[in-house]
């Protein structure tokens, strides 16, 4: 894989600027934009970026850091999904706590934002508290966003409970955007000021990249990733007016900056040190780019992936048509076609051939995968296994130089599993999923050196690209995520079933 980003240089730059901000205050509330862990979007558009760069940076500062996790009650109620993992936001909070603890980072508490006694959220609060996690409930702030006098008063932020913190850097993070991180930071600034402490606010930014051109594919890929939020990249007019320098930010930060600046000045009683939204952020991503062409191409490919992803989400009912159309317009803006993704046309063509031989209107699921040497391999669904399983087996056989005619998994292993699903578990879809086939392969590897040789090649498909002619089952989608394969899907279900496609 071609590298376009210097991860080490980025970490050095980012940590240096964070520590500079901390020196100005008794306590710094640091809002984290984007994903704190497993930032797969950044990894895809910046080849060479470590998906856990942020958490590793915090681990270096662990003696100075504690973490608050925010989650919006409305997202819990509507079971909002984190796309990278296919889990709901409340479950992602639990995962986030476990992962942070794994890096020896102190999790202070969870803040439920805009809480209004929603029933599912109340159950989640109970679950956290009964496992020993501190929970704070913040209701909607009276007067927000325009009535600054009310916001910065006992009727506004004063209504929120004060979160007790002890370390100089308080990281405020969340499963995703719109979780109330900024409001939580400002509420804490209010309470700290009332207690006579000098507290500051800053934002750990990743995208958009302020010192990369507005129409650079890297920044446009951010628009595609946040199409459901209707984020639009813009030139930061406040930064230009203050410094006569072009800087890129996005509409929500630019629109809210005047009010945010007034709120901070009202809380502190002093003129804000920030003259623009860009000033508020710590974003050194642009300084880590070492090959612009590599980053441009990776970003274009990410936009195509987002196009397929949004199409599937629209089919599933997760997003509206406007969101899908927005990503489509972004594709057109860069003159991109879905076929510009190498694995798409081979999958479509093979599926079309299978349909010609099959019964009328029968859907023939096919998955293709592109290996690092440019080889594209194909797998199709059968009564025995899903197309995802077939293509992974074909890939590891190719990498291990195993003849296609050799069966890696003995029927003695496969048949009992299929019978278990069919006769004992009464499963409607008896074809083995990718995970089930890999478990069967690992069993065979214990006694079969050929199967063992194939198993050892699984790590070589991490980071490869794949495409499916139908929407994947959740289990197969999750397995591909664990294998590190970037897969896209056509917005078509494999069968007419409503429940048994899941």
Residue-level pLDDT at 74: 94
Contact call for residues 50 and 191 (beta carbons, < 8 A): no
Residue-level pLDDT at 126: 97
Task: Give the Cβ contact number of residue 6 at 10 Å.
Answer: 18
Residue-level pLDDT at 245: 96
> Using CA atoms, how far apart are residues 205 and 278, in angstroms rounded to an integer?
9
Q: What is the largest CA-CA distance in the chain?
A: 77
> How many CA atoms are closer than 13 Å to the CA of 248, on its beta-carbon side?
24
Residue-level pLDDT at 178: 84
Residue-level pLDDT at 361: 62
| Residue ranges per structural domain of the chain | 7-206, 343-489
Residue-level pLDDT at 360: 61
Three-class DSSP category at 205: coil
Model confidence pLDDT, tens digit, residues 2-14: 899 999 999 899 9
> Using CA atoms, how far apart are residues 54 and 72, in angstroms rounded to an integer?
22
Contacts of 413 (CB under 8 A, 6+ apart): 440, 443, 444
Q: Assign residue 72 a region: left if phi > 0, alpha if psi is -120 to 50, beta otherwise?
A: beta
Pick the CATH number of 343-489 from 3.40.50.300, 3.60.10.10, 3.30.2320.80, 3.40.140.40: 3.40.140.40
Q: Which DSSP letter does residue 425 get?
A: S
CATH no., domain 7-206 = 3.10.630.10
Model confidence pLDDT, tens digit, residues 359-400: 666 778 999 999 999 999 999 999 899 999 999 999 999 999
Three-class DSSP category at 397: helix
Residue-level pLDDT at 495: 84
Q: Enumerate residue ranges in the chain where pLDDT < 50.
A: none
**Both tokens of residue 364?**
């023939």
End-to-end CA distance of the chain: 33
Residue-level pLDDT at 405: 87
**Fold identical between 7-206 and 343-489?**
no
């Amino acid at each position: 894989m071609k590298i376009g980003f210097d991860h080490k240089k980025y970490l050095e730059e980012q940590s240096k600027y964070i520590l500079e901000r901390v020196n100005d205050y008794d306590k710094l509330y640091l809002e984290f934009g984007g994903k704190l862990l497993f930032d797969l979007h950044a990894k895809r558009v910046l080849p060479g970026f470590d998906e856990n760069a942020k958490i590793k940076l915090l681990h270096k500062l662990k003696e100075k850091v504690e973490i608050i996790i925010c989650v919006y009650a409305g997202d819990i109620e509507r079971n909002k999904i984190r796309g990278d993992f296919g889990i709901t936001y409340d479950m992602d909070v639990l995962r986030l706590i476990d992962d942070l603890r794994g890096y020896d980072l102190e999790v202070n508490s969870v803040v439920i934002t805009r809480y209004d006694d929603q029933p599912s959220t109340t159950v989640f609060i109970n679950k956290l508290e009964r496992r020993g996690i501190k929970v704070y409930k913040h209701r909607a702030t009276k007067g927000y966003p325009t009535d600054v006098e009310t916001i910065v008063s006992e009727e506004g932020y004063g209504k929120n409970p004060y979160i007790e913190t002890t370390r100089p850097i308080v990281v405020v993070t969340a499963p995703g955007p719109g979780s109330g991180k900024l409001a939580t930071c400002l509420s804490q600034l209010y309470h700290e000021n009332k207690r006579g402490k000098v507290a500051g606010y800053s934002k750990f930014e990743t995208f958009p990249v302020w010192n990369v051109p507005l129409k650079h594919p890297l920044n446009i890929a951010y628009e595609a990733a946040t199409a459901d939020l209707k984020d639009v990249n813009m030139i930061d007019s406040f930064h230009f007016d203050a410094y006569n320098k072009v800087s890129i930010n996005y509409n929500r930060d630019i629109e809210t900056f005047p009010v945010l600046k007034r709120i901070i000045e009202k809380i502190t009683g002093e003129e804000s040190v920030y003259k623009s939204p860009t000033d508020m952020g710590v974003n050194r991503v642009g300084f880590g780019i070492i090959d612009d062409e590599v980053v441009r191409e990776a970003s274009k490919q990410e936009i195509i992936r987002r196009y397929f992803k949004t199409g599937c989400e629209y089919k599933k009912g997760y997003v509206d048509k406007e969101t899908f159309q927005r990503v489509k317009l972004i594709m057109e803006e860069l003159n991109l076609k879905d076929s510009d993704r190498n694995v798409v046309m081979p999958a479509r063509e093979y599926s079309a051939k299978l349909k010609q031989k099959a019964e009328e209107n029968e859907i023939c699921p096919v998955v293709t995968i592109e290996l690092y040497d440019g080889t594209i391999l194909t797998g199709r669904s059968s009564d025995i296994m899903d197309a995802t399983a077939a293509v992974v087996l074909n890939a590891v056989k190719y990498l291990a130089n195993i003849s296609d005619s050799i069966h890696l998994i003995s029927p003695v292993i496969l048949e009992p599993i299929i019978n278990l699903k069919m006769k004992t578990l009464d499963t409607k879809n008896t074809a083995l999923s990718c995970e089930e086939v890999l478990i069967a392969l690992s069993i065979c590897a214990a006694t079969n050196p050929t199967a063992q040789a194939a198993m050892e090649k699984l790590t070589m498909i991490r980071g490869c690209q794949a495409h499916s002619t139908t929407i994947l089952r959740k289990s197969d989608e999750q397995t591909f995520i664990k294998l590190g394969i970037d897969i896209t899907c056509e917005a078509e279900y494999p069968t007419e079933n409503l429940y048994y496609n899941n």
